[in-house]
Amino acid sequence: MTETSLLHGPIHAVHVELGATFAPFGGWEMPVAYAGTVTEHKAVRTTVGLFDVSHLGKATVRGPGAAAFVNSVLTNDLGRIRPGKAQYTLYCAPDGGVIDDLIAYYVSDDEIFLVPNAANTAAVVAELQKAAPDGVTVTDEHRDYAVFAVQGPRSTQVLAALDLPTDLDYMAYADAEWRGHTVRVCRTGYTGEHGYELLPRWADAEPLFRALVDQVRAAEGQVAGLGARDTLRTEMGYPLHGHELSLEISPVQAGCGWAVGWQKPQFCGKAALEQEKSTGPRRILLGLKALDRGVLRQGQTVLRAGEPVGETTSGTFSPTLALGIALALLDTSAGIDPGAEVEVDVRGRRLRCEVVRPPFVDTKTK
């Protein structure tokens, strides 16, 4: 995709005005940083950060029994939640590979709102449309809603200043009115901090974002870009589709079995995942913490006693820990447990790392 064909969110001009640097991601031109990734990362951990993630997909499944249909397709058990709650879940292929991971908002028994990843939205919608029973419709609403994430210890202060709801349990949401417009507010996020995600209509996005910028700055926070979003989620060990999850990487390998309703009678990929769980995966996702100075990145070979035992799926510098960290798929046959030492081939140099179980820093979502 060329630079001129990249998609823009509803407030691209505001990001330009704020001095953002940009890069392509999932077919969209995304703000990567404003004040700098480390500064923005630290703001989220200590005060508050504001992200525009409107590139994320949106789709609605409507009709009699919509929730039952979605529950028969996606891995997690919608029966565990109720209207007003959201749930992390996965859409798997018949062989157990992951088409996408997404958030399902339970609106009613006859309506489920989905937020998939940007690049996978069309595929998710197409697969659901093919599988939907008579009377159930699946509508791609990718550019009908914006998504803003307010994350950090002072996120509640920011929303309260705008009279938006804050008294929500984790993964609960409420539809609120703001200056005559409806905004869906959910207590979730992708940073490991206490936070919220706001979904206004696409056309209503700019005034809300500007108001959030003002309140975030008043709370000594930062507008944050894709760079900080990635370092924050890597510190938490959160998967990113195309890295820790893919058509070649199953939920069992990625440690996402908690998002699978194993007792459900049906979901896509159920037989394959049950088989893999029973026999044990050939590789598992663990964390690596650098013991030497160096930069860890995706696609680097992990070695033990000079022999390849896996590959990094994501890697970055952790601003919180001030050292290199990575997520890696390690061969289970190598018998590597947390606490073991391995090496990573960083452009021909061996970088010593300790194997750890993510997250790398404490979770504060609840």
With cut-offs at 50, 70 and 90, classify the pLDDT of residue 200. Answer: very high
In contact, 98 and 123? CB cutoff 8 Å: no
227 and 180: one domain?
A: yes
pLDDT of 74-116, one tens digit each?
A: 999 999 999 999 999 999 999 999 999 999 999 999 999 999 9
Beta-carbon neighbour count of residue 348 at 10 Å?
5
Examine the domain organization and report whether 46 and 167 are in the same domain.
Answer: yes
Examine residue 244 and state whether it is found in any structural domain, yes or no.
Answer: no
Same structural domain for residues 108 and 45?
Answer: no
Same domain, 25 and 161: yes
66-71: list long-range contacts, CB under 8 Å, 24+ apart: 66/109, 66/110, 66/111, 66/112, 66/136, 67/106, 67/108, 67/109, 67/110, 67/111, 67/112, 68/109, 69/131, 69/132, 69/133, 69/136, 70/104, 70/112, 70/114, 70/128, 71/261, 71/264, 71/267
Asked if residue 245 is part of any domain, the answer here is: no
> Is 239 inside a domain boundary?
no
Residue 26 in domain: yes
pLDDT of residue 3: 55
- Say what the pLDDT of residue 325 is: 98
Q: Are residues 48 and 149 in the same domain?
A: yes
User: Into how many domains does the chain fold?
Assistant: 3
Do the domain assignments include residue 241? no
8 A C-beta contact, residue 288 and residue 354: yes
Residue at a domain's end among 234, 269, 303: 234
User: Which domain, by its residues, includes 339?
Assistant: 282-366
Dmax over Cα atoms in the chain, in whole Å?
A: 64
| 0.95 exceeded by pTM | yes
The two beta strands, 307-318 and 301-304, are antiparallel
Do 84 and 174 meet the contact criterion of CB atoms below 8 Å apart?
yes
Are 35 and 107 found together in one domain? no
What percent of the chain is predicted at pLDDT more than 90? 98
- CA 61 → CA 130, 183, 238, 348, distances in Å? 12, 19, 26, 50
CB distance 76 to 104 below 8 Å: yes
Q: Identify whether residues 321 and 293 lie together within a single domain.
A: yes
Q: CATH number of the domain that 196 lies in?
A: 3.30.1360.120
Residue 309 carries which side chain, given as an amino acid letter?
A: V
Distances (CA, A) of 102 to 41, 239, 251, 265, 322: 23, 11, 13, 21, 31
Tally Cβ neighbours within 10 Å of residue 366: 8
Strand, helix or coil for residue 357: coil
User: How far is 243 from 314, CA to CA, in rounded Å?
Assistant: 6
CA pair distance 164, 175, nearest whole angstrom: 9
Instruction: Quote the pLDDT of residue 5.
Output: 87
pLDDT digits (tens, 9 = 90+) for 12-36: 999 999 999 999 999 999 999 999 9
Domain shared by 230 and 89, yes or no = no
Work out whether strand 137-140 and strand 85-92 pair parallel, antiparallel, or are unpaired: unpaired
Q: What is the CATH number of the domain that holds 71?
A: 3.30.70.1400
